[in-house]
A and B are shown apart, each in its own frame.
Chain A
Amino acid sequence: MKIPYYPGCTLKTKAKDLEDSAIAAAKVLGVEMEELPQWNCCGTVYSLSTDDLIHQIGPIRNLIRAKEQGSDRLVTLCSMCYNTLKRANEFFLADEEKRDRINRYMDEEMDYAGDVTVVHLLEILRDEIGMDKVKAAVKKPLTGLKVSPYYGCMLLRPASIGIDDMERPTVMEDLLRALGAEVIDDPYKTECCGAYQTVNRKDVVVTCVHSILTSAQGNGAEVVALSCPLCDFNLDNRQKDIQQAYAGFHTMPVLYFTQLMAIAFDLDESVCRFELSSQDPRPLLKSKGLIA
C-alpha cells in the first residue's frame, strides 16, 4: 500500500527518530509512506477563532499537495500535525461560504473540495493492517518490557477527529501487546503534558510531567511509549528539570511507538536513532536483550 506522507518540521529535525523508525517499520507491514514532494508548515496549533481563515490556509495547502499526488488520503506521524490538518479540513467542510472564500483566496491553487482524509499511522495499523498481522511480523517480541502508553491530547481531542475513545483509548495498548510488551495502564495517559508552556512556563510542564511519569513508574512502567514530538520533548528532555525540582525522581526512557515496532521487527538499530533521546533507552533495552 502506498500512501502520501506528511512529515512536518519536527520530524526532519528533533524527531528524526520518529520518522526513520516509522518509515522502516511501516515498510515491513507493506505500507509505503511516500513523502509529499512539496509541503509547508501544518500551522502547528489549530486556530480556534472562527473567522481566522488565513490560519487554515497552511494546512489546506498541504491537503491540496496530497490531492496533486492523486490521493484522497494523507498519513501523518506527529500528533500535532495530525490534529491541525484534520481539524482544518473539518473546518473547511463545515461551512460552504468559508470554503469558497478560502478557495478564492488561493487562486493559484486547484479548487479543493475537502475530500482528503487525514489518517494517523496508528489508525492504519489498527483498521487496515490489523494487529494480527503486526504480531505476525514480530521477530523479537518485547517480552518482559513494561511499557506505559501515553496519548496526550492531540490524537484524541476533540472527539470528532480523535483516533480513539477520548477517555479510554486502547489502540496503542493493542499495538504494544501485539509487539509482545507488557502493557501498563496508567490513568495519566490522556492528561496534558504541558505542551507549549515548555517555552516560557517550564515549571508548569515540570509539574505535569512529573505526575505523568511518577504515576507510570508507580504502576511499574519501565518505559513510556508515545507518538508526539512535543510530548516527547516534555516527557524526555524535561526530566533533567524534574530532577532539579523533585529530589528522588528517577529518570526513565521515553520512546516513540514506532521505535518499539522497529525493535520488535528486528530492524537495523540505526533507524531508531537512539542517540537523539535525552534519557538513553539503550541500557534498558540491552538489559532486556532487545538490542545488542
Chain B
Amino acid sequence: MKPRIGVFVCHCGLNIAATVEVSEVVKAIEHYPGVAHAQDYIYMCSDPGQELVRKAIREKKLTGLVMSNCSPSLHERTFRNLAASEGLNPYLVEVANIREYCSWPHQGDKETATKKALTIIKATIERVKRNQALVPLIVPLQKRVLVLGGGVAGMQTALDIANGGYPVTILEKEAYLGGRVRQLERTFLTMESAPDLANEMIDRTLKQPNIEVLTTSRIENLSGYVGNFEVQIRQQLPWVDPARCNGCEACVAACPAEVPSTFDRGLTTRKAVDWTPGERHGDRRIFLDHAACLRVTRQENCTACREACAEGAIDYPEDRLIDRTYGAIVVATGHDLYRKSALTEYAEDPDVLDALQFERLLSEDGPTGGKVLRPSDGKEPKEVVFVQCAGSRDPDKHFPYCSKVCCMYTCKEARRYREKVPDGQAYIFYIDIRSTGKGYEEFVKESVEKERLLYLKGKVSKIARKGDKLLVLGGDTITGLQVEVEADLVVLAMATVPNPGAKELARLLNINTDPYGFIQEAHPKLAPVETLTAGIYLAGTSQAPKDIPHAIYQAGGAASKILSLFSRKELVHEPLVARVDQEICAGCGYCRDNCAFQAVDVDPIRKKAMVNEALCEGCGACATACPSGAIQVKNLDSKQVFDMISIVTQDYSMQP
C-alpha cells in the first residue's frame, strides 16, 4: 500500500513560529513523496488542534503521522493515543522535534531554522514510511512480594501489603524479627517500651496469615524483572527444632563455643546454642547460631548439643535453597552504627560505649538487668558524658552527613540515665540540636529542664583513661573555654551507617547505592520509595538514617506503590524492543555483552541471540554492537536510520 502520511506543523505560540517560517515549511512539504496532508496550527496539542488531526486521519485516510512540534517526552503519548482512538496504530506516529532541536537553539536565524526544520521533518517522514504497526507486550504479574529485612520498616511494609490481600515473604538474616528496635530500651517521644513496640508488631506479623517469615535466610540469586522476579533464597534450617525443644538448656550447658553477643553488642557472651535475645519477646526460643558453631567456624565435628538433648530436638541439616517468583521486592535491610575504633582520638576502653550498647545497659533484658552499671567494674556511673555527631558531620575524616536520629536518642538516653541514677550528672556535647519533628523540640526542652541535662556546645577532642576515670577533653564554644570532664562512662552517638553487606546486596539486585552504601532512591523528591529498577522498592534506614516514625511512613509509601502496581491485571510493556533476525545471527554474543538490562542472551544450543522482550528497554546498544546487523530495534532499524542520515546529509549542510 502506498503511504499516505499526514504532517502537522505546530507554532507552539511563538516558540516555533517566531523562528521557523511555518507556512513555508507546509508549502515545501505538501508535495513531498508519500505526504497526503500537511497543515500548521497555533497549538496542535489543544483541543481544536487535536480535532484537526482527527479530521485529517479520517478524511484523508492517513497511514502515518509526523507530528512536528515539541519533544516527544511531552506529547508523543498524546498524539499516539489520539491516533489509536481514530483506529490508526499508535506506533505509526512519530514526533519531529522542531522546538528543542531547532527553533530554540536557532533563535534569530530564521533561514537556518526553517531549513533545518524541513530536514528534520523529511527525515521523520522517511522513518514513518518504514514503521510497523505494533501491539504492546503483555507481561504476566506475580502478585506476591518479597521483603528483605524484618525490622520495623520491613514488617510494616509486609503488614500493609498482606492486609491488602497479597502474599508476602519476609526474609530476615537473623534468627528473630524486630531489627534495631528490639535492642532499644524506650523510644522517644512517648518513652514507651521499645521491646513492647517491637513485640506487638512481631506478633501481628507472625499472626497475619498472608505473611510468611523466613528467618536466618538470605537472598542468593535474582533474575527476571518487575512482575516476575525469579529469586533463589538460602535458608539456614534451624538446628534446634522448636517443636521438640522444651527449653531445658542442657544443650546450652554442653556447648563449648562461647562468643560475644551481637545483640548485646559485645557486652555479654552467648553460647553458639542459646536463647534468642530479649526475654520479653513472644518468639523467644533456643536457637543455634551457625556463625558461632564450631562445626562452621572450625569445621569440627562437634555434636555436644545433640548428645545433651534428651528430646532429640537437635540435628544439623544442610541449608535449604528455595526458588520462588515474586512480582515486587522491598529492600528494608536497615542500619548499623559506625565502629567506635574509627575515632582514634577516643580511647578504646570498656567504659566508652556506643549508643546501642548504652541502650542495652538501660534495658531490663540487657546485661545488667536495666541497672546502669559500668562495664569495667560494675559501679554505678555518676558522671556520664554523651558525645553527639561521633563520626557524623565530619567530611574530612568520616561522614559528611547528619545521622538525623542521634540528637533525639541522645536526649532520650540521657534522660533515662538521670531517671535511673537521680544523683548522676549527664553532660551532652553537641554541634547543634536537630529536633525537627512534630513534638521533638518540646521533648528536648522538657528533658533538659526536668532532668537538668547539661548541654555543652562543642566537640570532644580526646577521651583517655585516667585511673578510675575517663578524661574527656572538649570545647564549649559558647563560653569559649576548654572543658575537661572526669567521667565514669562515655556514650558515643556513632554515625548511622548501612548494615554490612548492603553494597553486595545492591549489586545482586542491580540497584544503586549512594557513596556511603545507603540504597539510592530513584528520585530524592518524586520517587523516594522506588529504586531505578522497576519493581524494586525501599523502606526504612536502608535508604538513609531515620527514626521509627519516618521508617513507618516510608514503609507505608512502598506498600501503597506495590498495591497500586498489583491493582492491574497484568503489566504492559512498550513493543519498541530489539528483534533478532535468526537467519543472520551468528551467536557471537556482542549484543549480550552490551546490554545494560540483561535482556539478551545467546541460546547455547542453537547459538542464536534471544531477546527477553519484557526486560528490553529498546535503547539500541545491541544494534550498534552487532557486526552483521542481525539485531535491530523495532521501528528504528538500520534502514530507517540510514534513510534519515541520507536526508540530513543531502539536504542540510552545516554553515561554517
A binding-site residues for B, Cβ under 8 Å: 165-168, 187, 190-191, 211, 215, 218
Q: Is the CB of B344 within 8 A of A187?
A: no
9 CB-based A-B contacts, threshold 8 Å: A167-B344, A167-B345, A168-B344, A187-B464, A190-B462, A191-B473, A215-B471, A218-B466, A218-B467
Instruction: Give A166 to B466 CA distance when docked, in angstroms.
Output: 20
The proximity string for B residues 481-523 relative to A, scoring 1 for CB distances below 8 Å and 0 otherwise, is 0001000000000000000000000000000000000000000
Smallest CB-CB separation from B464: which chain A residue? Answer: A187
Question: Which of chain A's residues have a CB closer than 8 A to the CB of B484?
Answer: 211
Question: Which of chain A's residues have a CB closer than 8 A to the CB of B466?
Answer: 187, 215, 218
Smallest CB-CB separation from B465: which chain A residue? Answer: A187
Question: Which of chain B's residues have a CB closer than 8 A to the CB of A191?
Answer: 462, 473
Q: How far is the CB of A218 from chain B (nearest CB, A)?
A: 7
Instruction: Give A168 to B346 CA distance when docked, in angstroms.
Output: 9
Q: How far is the CB of B472 from chain A (nearest CB, A)?
A: 10
Instruction: Choose among A165, A211, A215 the residue that contacts B344 (Cβ–Cβ < 8 A).
Output: A165
Would you list which residues of chain B between 595 and 637 have a CB under 8 Å from chain A? Answer: none
Question: Which of chain A's residues have a CB closer than 8 A to the CB of B347?
Answer: 187
Instruction: Give A218 to B465 CA distance when docked, in angstroms.
Output: 12
Question: Which of chain B's residues have a CB closer than 8 A to the CB of A166?
Answer: 344
Question: Which of chain B's residues have a CB closer than 8 A to the CB of A215?
Answer: 466, 471
Instruction: Give A215 to B465 CA distance when docked, in angstroms.
Output: 11
Instruction: Give A199 to B347 CA distance when docked, in angstroms.
Output: 34
Further pairs besides A191-B462, A215-B471: 19, Cβ < 8 Å: A165-B344, A166-B344, A167-B344, A167-B345, A168-B344, A168-B345, A187-B347, A187-B462, A187-B464, A187-B465, A187-B466, A187-B471, A187-B473, A190-B462, A191-B473, A211-B484, A215-B466, A218-B466, A218-B467
Q: How far is the CB of A197 from chain B (nearest CB, A)?
A: 13
Instruction: Give A166 to B347 CA distance when docked, in angstroms.
Output: 14
Question: Which of chain B's residues have a CB closer than 8 A to the CB of A218?
Answer: 466-467
The proximity string for B residues 453-478 relative to A, scoring 1 for CB distances below 8 Å and 0 otherwise, is 00000000010111100010100000
Q: How far is the CB of B463 from chain A (nearest CB, A)?
A: 8
7 closest cross-chain pairs (CB), A and B: A187-B464, A167-B344, A167-B345, A168-B344, A187-B471, A187-B462, A165-B344
Interface residues on B, range: 10 to 19
Question: Which of chain B's residues have a CB closer than 8 A to the CB of A167?
Answer: 344-345
Q: How far is the CB of A217 from chain B (nearest CB, A)?
A: 12
Instruction: Give A191 to B464 CA distance when docked, in angstroms.
Output: 12
Smallest CB-CB separation from B470: which chain A residue? Answer: A187
Smallest CB-CB separation from B347: which chain A residue? Answer: A187
Instruction: Give A187 to B467 CA distance when docked, in angstroms.
Output: 12
Instruction: Give A37 to B484 CA distance when docked, in angstroms.
Output: 48
Question: Which of chain A's residues have a CB closer than 8 A to the CB of B465?
Answer: 187
Smallest CB-CB separation from A219: which chain B residue? Answer: B466
Instruction: Give A165 to B342 CA distance when docked, in angstroms.
Output: 12
Question: Which of chain B's residues have a CB closer than 8 A to the CB of A187?
Answer: 347, 462, 464-466, 471, 473
Question: Which of chain A's residues have a CB closer than 8 A to the CB of B345?
Answer: 167-168
Instruction: Give A190 to B462 CA distance when docked, in angstroms.
Output: 10
Q: How far is the CB of A204 from chain B (nearest CB, A)?
A: 10
Question: Which of chain B's residues have a CB closer than 8 A to the CB of A165?
Answer: 344
Question: Which of chain B's residues have a CB closer than 8 A to the CB of A190?
Answer: 462
Q: How far is the CB of B617 from chain A (nearest CB, A)?
A: 44
Q: How far is the CB of A171 from chain B (nearest CB, A)?
A: 15
Instruction: Give A168 to B347 CA distance when docked, in angstroms.
Output: 9
Instruction: Give A167 to B464 CA distance when docked, in angstroms.
Output: 11
Smallest CB-CB separation from B397: which chain A residue? Answer: A159
Instruction: Give A150 to B347 CA distance when docked, in angstroms.
Output: 17
Instruction: Give A288 to B398 CA distance when docked, in angstroms.
Output: 46
The proximity string for B residues 272-295 relative to A, scoring 1 for CB distances below 8 Å and 0 otherwise, is 000000000000000000000000
Question: Which of chain A's residues have a CB closer than 8 A to the CB of B344?
Answer: 165-168
Which of B344, B464, B484 has the most C-beta atoms of chain A within 10 angstroms of its own C-beta? Answer: B464
Instruction: Give A224 to B471 CA distance when docked, in angstroms.
Output: 20
Smallest CB-CB separation from B344: which chain A residue? Answer: A167
Question: Which of chain A's residues have a CB closer than 8 A to the CB of B471?
Answer: 187, 215
Smallest CB-CB separation from A211: which chain B residue? Answer: B484
Instruction: Give A148 to B473 CA distance when docked, in angstroms.
Output: 19
Q: How far is the CB of B349 from chain A (nearest CB, A)?
A: 11
Instruction: Give A4 to B464 CA distance when docked, in angstroms.
Output: 39
Would you list which residues of chain B between 423 and 462 have a CB under 8 Å from chain A? Answer: 462
Instruction: Give A191 to B462 CA distance when docked, in angstroms.
Output: 9
Q: How far is the CB of A153 from chain B (nearest CB, A)?
A: 12
Instruction: Give A168 to B473 CA distance when docked, in angstroms.
Output: 15
Instruction: Give A211 to B471 CA distance when docked, in angstroms.
Output: 12
Question: Which of chain A's residues have a CB closer than 8 A to the CB of B464?
Answer: 187
Instruction: Give A135 to B496 CA distance when docked, in angstroms.
Output: 45
Q: How far is the CB of B515 from chain A (nearest CB, A)?
A: 20
Instruction: Give A191 to B471 CA distance when docked, in angstroms.
Output: 13
Question: Which of chain A's residues have a CB closer than 8 A to the CB of B462?
Answer: 187, 190-191
Instruction: Give A187 to B471 CA distance when docked, in angstroms.
Output: 8
Q: How far is the CB of A183 from chain B (nearest CB, A)?
A: 15
Smallest CB-CB separation from B343: which chain A residue? Answer: A167
Instruction: Give A71 to B59 CA distance when docked, in angstroms.
Output: 91
The proximity string for B residues 150-163 relative to A, scoring 1 for CB distances below 8 Å and 0 otherwise, is 00000000000000
Question: Which of chain A's residues have a CB closer than 8 A to the CB of B467?
Answer: 218
Q: How far is the CB of B458 from chain A (nearest CB, A)?
A: 16
Smallest CB-CB separation from A165: which chain B residue? Answer: B344
Q: How far is the CB of B384 from chain A (nearest CB, A)?
A: 19
Instruction: Give A190 to B464 CA distance when docked, in angstroms.
Output: 12
Question: Which of chain B's residues have a CB closer than 8 A to the CB of A211?
Answer: 484
Smallest CB-CB separation from A158: which chain B residue? Answer: B396
Would you list which residues of chain B between 338 and 363 have a CB under 8 Å from chain A? Answer: 344-345, 347
Instruction: Give A215 to B345 CA distance when docked, in angstroms.
Output: 17
Instruction: Give A218 to B466 CA distance when docked, in angstroms.
Output: 9
Instruction: Give A166 to B467 CA distance when docked, in angstroms.
Output: 24
Instruction: Give A167 to B484 CA distance when docked, in angstroms.
Output: 18
Instruction: Give A166 to B397 CA distance when docked, in angstroms.
Output: 12
Instruction: Give A187 to B466 CA distance when docked, in angstroms.
Output: 8
Instruction: Give A4 to B77 CA distance when docked, in angstroms.
Output: 76
Q: How far is the CB of A66 from chain B (nearest CB, A)?
A: 31
Q: How far is the CB of A167 from chain B (nearest CB, A)?
A: 4
Instruction: Give A191 to B345 CA distance when docked, in angstroms.
Output: 11
Smallest CB-CB separation from B463: which chain A residue? Answer: A187
Q: How far is the CB of B451 from chain A (nearest CB, A)?
A: 30
Q: How far is the CB of B200 from chain A (nearest CB, A)?
A: 44
Instruction: Give A166 to B343 CA distance when docked, in angstroms.
Output: 11
Which of A166, A187, A211 has the most C-beta atoms of chain B within 10 angstroms of its own C-beta? Answer: A187
Instruction: Give A218 to B464 CA distance when docked, in angstroms.
Output: 13
Instruction: Give A165 to B345 CA distance when docked, in angstroms.
Output: 10
Smallest CB-CB separation from B484: which chain A residue? Answer: A211
Instruction: Give A90 to B345 CA distance when docked, in angstroms.
Output: 25
Question: Which of chain A's residues have a CB closer than 8 A to the CB of B473?
Answer: 187, 191
Q: How far is the CB of B470 from chain A (nearest CB, A)?
A: 10
Question: Which of chain B's residues have a CB closer than 8 A to the CB of A168?
Answer: 344-345
Q: How far is the CB of A215 from chain B (nearest CB, A)?
A: 8
